[in-house]
Chains A and B, each alone.
Chain A
Amino acid sequence: MSVLATRDLIIDVPGRADGTPLNITIEPGQVWGVLGPNGAGKTTLLHTLAGLHAPRSGSVQLNGSVIGQLRRRQVAQCLGLVFQERQDGFPATVLETALIGRHPYLSPWQMEGADDYARAEAALERLDVAHLHDRLVSTLSGGERQRVAIATVLTQAPDVWLADEPTNHLDLHHQSAVMALIAEQANQGQAVIMCLHDLNLAARWCDHVLLLYPNGEACWGSRDSMLVPSALEDLYRQKLAVVEVDGAPVFVPIKG
């Protein structure tokens, strides 16, 4: 199982002060939620953790090696990323899209085999989009596309999941289904870091939380130590009311 860690990491958001250097270690089985208002740098942080974006200073380490020095192929075998935005470019079917999750494991001359197809089909099944497998992705609804994107990462089966707003466009049922899938991954020993807008999803599904402020300051720790109304009100500059439902806190914005 892989371990993702940061050493004095300062992400590079243009025109912003350095803020708090991040020193976090994401252990296998942990589910981290990254919370912050718009423009706080959540996506930049996620891309930096994936090695797609160079940090301003400090480093991201995957299993003890600096991620920028690893080959992309090695990184992709350990770490998968659900993007918030996707380009369509050229038409591709749902099955083809899920199948590219196998790319990191295949040699240049190798064609996808029956095993690869089986994994992709299983992932589509798991995300409830198997019936669409011959459809062009560009003809799907937003929620269906989001599930296909998650199915691609599920096909990739990385040790570390990075997910940028994984519940975007999803209806309530599929939101729960996707979060349950992520929790299941964590139970199997995968580490998960996801950016979330919905405090309540973080409260319900994450065990660790990182609060990212627009000025670059940050704090992190266990869910219960982080999800306190005063800190969250400060983070979002929004008054909140808290009630407890089904054993988890629920945050509701209130007037004033």
Chain B
Amino acid sequence: MLARLGLPLGVLLLAALASLLIALGVGSAQIPPAQIWDVALSHIGQGSGDTLAWTMVMELRLPRALSAFAVGGLLAVAGALMQVLLRNPLADPYVLGLSGGASIGALAAMLGGLGGLAISGSAFGGALFSTFLVFGLAHGSGGWTPSRLLLTGVVVAAGWGAVITLMLAMSPAERLPGMLYWLMGDLSYARTPWPPLLLLLATCVVLIPLGRSLNVLARGPQQAAALGVAVRPLEWCIYIAASLLTAAAVTTAGSIGFVGLVVPHMLRLLLGNDQRLILPACALAGGTLLVLADTLARTMIAPEQLPVGVITALLGVPTFLFLLYRSR
């Protein structure tokens, strides 16, 4: 049993570390690995290494790579949770209008000429507002069902889409590029990587004991209740957790699509559907994917920078289709 969990997670952990090393070693400035090593050593020994190389690796590449990892992990875990909650393989954090709400918050802050923390805070507020709006409306007069929640989310998301288009059309020309980059997902916004990383870690620790309950819930709420799962509290817990994770991810790096949908599916095709394995695997694989995508985004046509959301889709779509085709 331990081997069944340990082996895939070990492999994914190695992949994650490798991706982080690549992200640290590659950039538009050419810094030979040996020099990075020297700098690291001299830094530990308080020696005088090349401070420029140190600045680039530790203050530009490392925070960005860690942010990418955290965001990718958060989105993938949120996607896996949403899919279990709605028992619908098409669910992802963005389907329920979360990213739409966050986008509107962020764009409103940008339109108001605010920057940095104000955009993040506003995006977070927008995501939570959208969460409660969708949940409240889906609840209606009776209880909510997955299909009703999904439908409400899709319609609310479409509404947000229209508002976003309206805001873009109304915004002054000089603010447009920033807004478009935000909508396509962009890690140059990322500031300190620690809050999303800690959230990711905390989520994994909290969710692993819930993993078997989630497995049972994936069989349907009645079956889960018959097997001793307190269904309603668990569903609330998943919904709130997925919303928080998405809000944190969107707040850090704008709206990056696709990771939440594709990573959980890829892992299910490869590893089966035990949430105790899938959730931590999602955290690792989602993080790895986004670190690699961001490394490509900032180096592919350097010095020009690409939005990372484009790369995640370009990497994820063929990989996913290949796995799906092979699985039959």
Q: What's the interface size class on B, roughly? A: 20 to 34
Q: Identify the interface centre among B89, B213, B222: most chain A CB within 10 Å of its CB.
A: B222
Q: Which residue of B lies closest to A77 (CB)?
A: B228
Q: Which residue of A lies closest to B278 (CB)?
A: A90
A237 within 8 A of B: no
| Chain A residues whose C-beta falls within 8 Å of the C-beta of B220 in the assembled complex | 86-87, 89
A30 within 8 A of B: no
Contact partner of B227 (CB less than 8 A), chosen from A74, A100, A112, is A100
B219 within 8 A of A: yes
Question: A86 CA to B221 CA in the complex, in Å?
Answer: 10
A106 close to B212 (CB less than 8 A): yes
Interface 0/1 of B152-190, CB less than 8 Å to A = 000000000000000000000000000000000000000
Kindly provide the distance from the CB of A65 to the nearest chain B CB, expressed in whole angstroms. Answer: 15
| Chain B residues whose C-beta falls within 8 Å of the C-beta of A91 in the assembled complex | 268, 272-273
Count contacts on A: residues with CB < 8 A to the other chain: 34
A90 close to B273 (CB less than 8 A): yes
B301 within 8 A of A: no
A255 within 8 A of B: no
Kindly provide the distance from the CB of A108 to the nearest chain B CB, expressed in whole angstroms. Answer: 3
| Chain A residues whose C-beta falls within 8 Å of the C-beta of B218 in the assembled complex | 89-90, 92
A197 within 8 A of B: no
Given contacts A89-B218, A111-B1, contact A83 B273 (CB under 8 A): no
8 Å CB interface, A103-152 against B: 103-104, 106, 108-109, 111-113
A100 close to B215 (CB less than 8 A): yes
Contact partner of A71 (CB less than 8 A), chosen from B213, B215, B230, is B230
B210 within 8 A of A: yes
A52 close to B274 (CB less than 8 A): no
Given contacts A90-B218, A100-B215, A103-B216, contact A50 B226 (CB under 8 A): yes
| Chain B residues whose C-beta falls within 8 Å of the C-beta of A109 in the assembled complex | 209
Question: A87 CA to B226 CA in the complex, in Å?
Answer: 14
Q: Which residue of B lies closest to A52 (CB)?
A: B225
Kindly provide the distance from the CB of A46 to the nearest chain B CB, expressed in whole angstroms. Answer: 10
Kindly provide the distance from the CB of B15 to the nearest chain A CB, expressed in whole angstroms. Answer: 24
Question: A106 CA to B225 CA in the complex, in Å?
Answer: 15
> Total A-B pairs in contact (CB under 8 Å)?
83
8 Å CB interface, A40-80 against B: 47, 50-52, 71-77, 80
Kindly provide the distance from the CB of B206 to the nearest chain A CB, expressed in whole angstroms. Answer: 10
A156 within 8 A of B: yes
A211 within 8 A of B: no
| Chain B residues whose C-beta falls within 8 Å of the C-beta of A111 in the assembled complex | 1-2, 276
B219 close to A104 (CB less than 8 A): no
A33 within 8 A of B: no
Q: Which residue of B lies closest to A156 (CB)?
A: B227
Q: Which residue of B lies closest to A117 (CB)?
A: B1
Kindly provide the distance from the CB of B122 to the nearest chain A CB, expressed in whole angstroms. Answer: 36
Q: Which residue of A lies closest to B220 (CB)?
A: A87
A72 close to B216 (CB less than 8 A): no
Interface 0/1 of B274-288, CB less than 8 Å to A = 101000000000000
Kindly provide the distance from the CB of B1 to the nearest chain A CB, expressed in whole angstroms. Answer: 5
Contact partner of B87 (CB less than 8 A), chosen from A50, A75, A77, A89, is A89
Q: Which residue of B lies closest to A111 (CB)?
A: B1
Kindly provide the distance from the CB of A105 to the nearest chain B CB, expressed in whole angstroms. Answer: 9
| Chain B residues whose C-beta falls within 8 Å of the C-beta of A90 in the assembled complex | 83-84, 87, 89, 218, 268, 273
| Chain A residues whose C-beta falls within 8 Å of the C-beta of B272 in the assembled complex | 91-93, 96
Which 6 residue pairs spanning A and B have beta carbons closest together?
A76-B228, A108-B209, A87-B220, A104-B228, A73-B228, A81-B226
A-B contacts, 21 of them at CB < 8 A, read A71-B228, A74-B228, A76-B226, A80-B226, A83-B222, A83-B223, A86-B223, A87-B220, A87-B223, A89-B218, A90-B83, A90-B87, A91-B268, A91-B273, A92-B219, A93-B272, A106-B212, A108-B212, A109-B209, A111-B2, A112-B1
Known: A72-B231, A108-B210. 19 other contacts (CB 8 A): A71-B228, A74-B228, A76-B226, A77-B228, A81-B226, A83-B223, A86-B220, A87-B219, A87-B220, A89-B219, A90-B218, A91-B268, A91-B273, A92-B218, A92-B273, A96-B274, A100-B216, A100-B227, A103-B229
